[in-house]
Amino acid sequence: MIIVLFDGKAYLCTLFVYKMRKYTLFISILCCSLFSSCGEYNKVLKSSDYEYKYEAAKSYFGKGQYTKSATILEELITILKGTDNAEESLYMLAMSYYNQGDYITASHYFSGYYTTYPRGIYTELARFHSGKALFLDTPEARLDQSSTYKAIQELQLFMEYHPESNRKTEAQLMIFNLQDKLVLKDYLSAKLYYDLGTYNGNASMTADGQINGNNFLACITTAQNALKDYPYTSMREEISILLLRAKYKLGTESVEEKKEERMREAIDEYYAFKNEFPESKYIKEVENIYKDASKYVKELNENN
Residue-wise pLDDT for 109-144, tens only, equals: 999 999 999 999 999 999 999 999 999 999 999 999
Output the pLDDT for position 2.
46
pLDDT band at 303 (very low <50, low <70, confident <90, very high): confident
Are the C-beta atoms of 176 and 168 separated by less than 8 Å? no
Backbone region of residue 209 per phi and psi (left: phi > 0; alpha: psi in -120 to 50; beta: other values): left
Residue-wise pLDDT for 283-300, tens only, equals: 999 999 999 999 999 887
DSSP for residue 162? -
Residue-wise pLDDT for 22-57, tens only, equals: 444 444 444 344 434 567 898 988 898 999 999 999
| pTM (predicted TM-score) | 0.76
Q: CB atoms < 10 A from the CB of 42, how many?
A: 10
